[in-house]
Amino acid sequence: MLSQVFYLLRSRSDGKYLCANPNPDAAVSYLLMFREDYDALSYLNAHAAEVADRFGVESISGSSVKT
């Protein structure tokens, strides 16, 4: 995991990362991480095509990711 690179989706307007929040009543959310940049873009096109232009893909090294 340390030598891997992950790709995240980040809002261009406020700088927040795209996260999943399966239970809106709980304060737990999950950071969406992709193994390839095109996977992140494909996710946006499939699930949020109307707002895809508001996000950018950002890379992060595996050593920067906490468990």
The mean pLDDT of the chain is 90
Task: State how far Cα 43 lies from the chain centre.
Answer: 9
Q: pTM for this structure?
A: 0.83
Give CA–CA dist 58/24, Å, rounded.
26
Domain map (residue ranges) of the chain? 5-64
Band of the pLDDT at 66, cuts 50, 70, 90?
A: confident
pLDDT at 62: 83
Nearest to 57 by CA among 2, 45, 27: 45
Count the Cβ atoms, other than its own, within 10 Å of residue 9. 23
Mean pLDDT of 17-35: 91
Whether the CB-CB separation of 12 and 19 falls below 8 Å is answered with no
Angle at 19 between CA 29 and CA 6, to 5 degrees: 115
